[in-house]
A and B are shown apart, each in its own frame.
Chain A
Amino acid sequence: MKVIVPVKRVIDYNVKARVKPDQSGVDLANVKMSMNPFDEIAVEEAIRMKETGTVTEIIAVSIGPQQAQETIRTALAMGADRGILVKTDETVEPLAVAKILKAIVEQEKPELVMLGKQAIDDDCNQTGQMLAALLDWPQGTFASEVKFTDGKLQVTREIDGGLQTIEINMPAVVTTDLRLNEPRYASLPNIMKAKKKPIDMKSPEDYEVDITPRLNVLKVTEPAKREAGVKVESAAELVKKLREEAGVI
């Protein structure tokens, strides 16, 4: 089976994000960027499925600036077979990404699209669901375990209060959660091999998708600083405070 794994170039998870002084967004100048960690998990899962013989080809897709090619190369160095870069310097919202991915799916005809449940930069958690809707495919979101048997996928989902296992028909969209696997590091030889793997260069126009943002960002601010706590004398006082001051019980 052929798998498409969309990978997003995001601010590295180790970087402490700073808001631009004009509150228009996060300052990305001179900031280390890397693959969205949830997408790394998706790449890893696809590679494992290839190693067990379920998957025959893995295509890593990224939508973003020229540098997103490096993110695709990371996926190729981990073990993906080829890449597609849809190049744009504009802001692409989840809906636009889903529309482009839909067009790619129609061309490539994979049986599975596997992607991170969300990206750690905007935390939208929308692309996979929107793509499934646009394609009218089944979706298995927040996967912590994926099994392929008899042409169907068993997806264990991390939900509030526990795990839910569902069976979905193929083709399907699966979004990956943190506990699905621990992604491998690329190795030096594989980084060098990845340089020779092909990456198709495309643009949103190639897929006739209008990526104009539908949302207006009013302002971006840093989270409020955490204030010092107070010590309570007794459990009764704690309950009182939780009820009267915090209003949570």
Chain B
Amino acid sequence: MSMIVDRRNVDFLLYEVFDTQKILSAPIYQNFDRDAVTAILDMAQAIAEDKYFSCSADIDVNEPRFVDGGVLVPSVIKDALAAYAEAGFFAATFSEEWGGMQLPWHIYVQISNLFTCANTSINSYAFLTVANANVINTFGSDAQQALYLPPMLEGRWFGTMCLSEPQAGSSLADIKTKAEPTEDDYYRITGTKMWISGGDQDISENIIHLVLARIPGGPPGVKGISLFIVPKIRVESGRSLGELNNVGLSGLIHKMGNRGTTNTILNFGEGGECRGYLIGEPHKGLQYMFHMMNEARIAVGQGSVMSAQAGYLYSLDYARQRPQGRLPGEKEPSSPQVTIIEHADVKRMLMAQKAYVEGGAALIAYCAQLIDQEKLVTDSTEKKRLALLLEILTPVAKSWPSEFCLEANKLAIQVLGGYGYTREYPVERFYRDNRLNLIHEGTHAIHGIDLLGRKVRMQGGAALSVFLEEISKSVEDGAGYESIAPFASTLQNTITNLIEASEAVLAEDSLRRQLANATIYLDAFGHVVIAWMWLLQSIAATEGLSGNDVVDAHFYEGKLKACRFFFTYELPKTKAQFDLVASLDDTCLNAEATHFIGV
């Protein structure tokens, strides 16, 4: 079996749970059919296994180094990204005008899954470049697009996003980086950015930073932030590279995991003039950046699912081979040992991993196809519905996997026991890689506040209503199957808890108290979403089992088992969580700093 993907599950999601065929039937995607998608996934898997997976342990130990003011990145990372570029993946989703293939986004997400699972820290360079190019493609001027997109989409120039500063991480309103207008077509950028992934490297010929900065005289807070293109090396006419643009590298940040991706502190304009080119209008930078951030947030969730999948597949394979102990009641010492997958608690740990990983993978696949659907629908009401649904699901798609797929990584280590805690086995590395996802692109808490403080109440609760309508449709569908009806009914009851908790929060006057338990709400809300994903999967599996093809019976039965696991072991936890949220408990809110150690 492959250690980076269960291709049967990919096909299940694309063709049985969700309706890829329908998206592919749209005129703009007419070149793609199932055979083509399979061939593309085969090719991507081969590159991911040969070039990405093979060096994942190596670059964790031999990480990029800071030498003489620059970065030395291991050559295996360059080779991997060269293969990715050669295969045409940087441009894949872009239109033919930019040398792209107009690949549907949800197919691209399945391709990214392969590279992320194989080696998440190499894939970050490509992800950031494509997301950056998407911003320029959406908001940049024609001239900016013509200048920057071709080399980025050929994989020759890479991109970054520069938001945080040493004193302003979660609180973007407090960023200080300045952009002063000049008499030329550029602004003079000065300031320090921190936590910049891919902020420097010696892989690409140039680096295109997207930088949030303030134009002096603009409004305070987030309403005075503008977005700039800041190249590492100045770009002259004819796209030739000129002088360095004074983006100084202060140093590399030494991380717990994800070590192949450089993480940097950058000083803009420290050694001389640093030129930045405004994107769109002044003071609308955050709005533009959100385009990249929303994409990035779903990708963070995706990365988390994939780090967990790496651990799940590894620990599953291990459990099927490792003989240890005998089953309860077997008293004969000379009887052969069983493989550990025979032990009930190992099965529980693997089933939990399956439920988290495949539940999370379904959510990512669902969000990805919503993005394609939103692009395809012409009816404005339906377009708005899909946009609202994505709005409310984005914090969940980012956060639920970050929390619970990390739990899966914990269980993968546990399945290997002592070996799992050693660096000779990869499962501890998967855990370290995944641990980042709770933190970047908005911490877990930020997304709780985003969900409960903004998304649930936006446009008079419109996003929540669309979400509830969609989930209710699935509950109705599920109720039509004898074996699934009990789960459908459980989910219906849980939705009632969710609505009651939401209403209780909105009825509270104090905003601080409303949001005090937002993280608990986020976790419980996420469980409801994942239960929904499992309901959809169990419907598809039941349909699959009713066919004549018995080849896949084990696969489908496994899906039904995992669905049952999630509804039996996991979903009931939300009752306590929603009750707590509804009670507006203020234990934590009203704890004083002195309550912790008495001083």
List chain A positions with a Cβ less than 8 A from chain B: 14-16, 29-30, 32, 34, 70, 73-74, 77, 185-189, 191-192, 194-195
Contacts and interface: CB of A to CB of B under 8 A. Distances in A.
B551 A191 contact: no
Interface stretch (B36-44, B212-220, B232-240): B36-44
A15 B1 contact: yes
12 contacts: A30-B8, A30-B551, A70-B42, A74-B42, A77-B39, A185-B47, A185-B83, A186-B43, A188-B87, A188-B103, A189-B88, A191-B40
Contacts of B38: 70
A195 B43 contact: no
A185 B36 contact: no
Contact of B49 (A14, A73, A74, A194): A14
A185 B86 contact: yes
Interface of B: 1-2, 7-8, 31, 35-36, 38-40, 42-43, 46-47, 49, 83, 86-89, 92, 101, 103, 551-552, 555
Contacts, number: 58
B36 A192 contact: yes
B432 to A, nearest CB: 25
Contact of A188 (B2, B35, B88): B88
A74 B31 CA distance: 17
Contacts of A29: 551
A195 B7 contact: no
A189 B31 CA distance: 11
Given A30-B555, A70-B39, A195-B36, A188 B101 contact: yes
A14 B313 CA distance: 14
A188 B555 contact: no
Contacts of B42: 34, 70, 74
B2 A77 contact: no
B1 A188 contact: no
Contacts of A189: 88, 101
Contacts of B46: 34, 185
Nearest to A28: B551
B40 to A, nearest CB: 6
B36 to A, nearest CB: 6
B39 A187 contact: no
Contact of B35 (A15, A32, A73, A187): A73
Which 9 A-B residue pairings sit nearest by Cβ, starting from the closest?
A188-B88, A187-B88, A187-B87, A29-B551, A191-B39, A186-B43, A189-B88, A188-B101, A185-B47
A32 B7 CA distance: 8
A191 B43 contact: yes
A15 B101 CA distance: 30
Contacts of B87: 185-188
Contacts of B39: 70, 73-74, 77, 186, 191, 194
A194 B552 CA distance: 30
A198 B98 CA distance: 28
Nearest to B38: A70
A31 to B, nearest CB: 9
Given A185-B43, A185-B86, A195-B36, 13 more contacts: A14-B49, A30-B552, A70-B35, A70-B39, A73-B35, A73-B39, A74-B39, A77-B43, A185-B87, A186-B39, A187-B87, A187-B88, A191-B39
A195 B38 CA distance: 12
Contacts of B552: 30
Contacts of A188: 40, 43, 87-89, 92, 101, 103
A201 to B, nearest CB: 15
A185 to B, nearest CB: 5
Taking each of A32, A185, A187, A188, which has the highest tally of chain B beta carbons within 10 Å of its own beta carbon?
Answer: A188
Nearest to B99: A189
Contact of A191 (B8, B36, B47, B83): B36
Given A30-B8, A30-B555, A74-B42, A187 B1 contact: no
Contacts of B31: 192, 195
A222 to B, nearest CB: 13
Contacts of A74: 39, 42
B383 to A, nearest CB: 28
A32 B31 CA distance: 24
Contacts of B83: 185
A187 to B, nearest CB: 5
A65 to B, nearest CB: 14
Contacts of B551: 29-30
Contacts of A15: 1-2
A187 B92 CA distance: 10
Contacts of A73: 35, 39
A192 B40 CA distance: 9
Taking each of B2, B46, B47, B49, which has the highest tally of chain A beta carbons within 10 Å of its own beta carbon?
Answer: B46
Nearest to A186: B43
Contacts of A16: 1
A187 B2 contact: no
A64 to B, nearest CB: 16
A29 B8 CA distance: 11
Contacts of B35: 70, 73, 195
Nearest to B89: A188
A16 B316 CA distance: 14
B560 to A, nearest CB: 17
A127 B31 CA distance: 37
Contacts of B36: 191-192, 195
B86 A187 contact: yes
Taking each of A73, A186, A191, which has the highest tally of chain B beta carbons within 10 Å of its own beta carbon?
Answer: A191
Contacts of B555: 30
A14 B38 CA distance: 17
Contacts of A77: 39, 43
Nearest to A14: B2
Contacts of A191: 36, 39-40, 43
A29 B550 CA distance: 10
A120 to B, nearest CB: 15
B381 to A, nearest CB: 34
Nearest to A12: B2
A144 to B, nearest CB: 21
Contacts of A70: 35, 38-39, 42
Contacts of B7: 32
Contacts of B49: 14
B260 to A, nearest CB: 21
Nearest to B8: A30
Nearest to A183: B46
A186 B39 CA distance: 9
A29 B555 CA distance: 11
B358 to A, nearest CB: 16
Nearest to B6: A30
B2 A32 contact: yes
Contacts of A14: 2, 49
B505 to A, nearest CB: 46
B424 to A, nearest CB: 19
A89 B103 CA distance: 34
B547 to A, nearest CB: 15
B44 to A, nearest CB: 9
A32 B40 CA distance: 14
B97 to A, nearest CB: 14
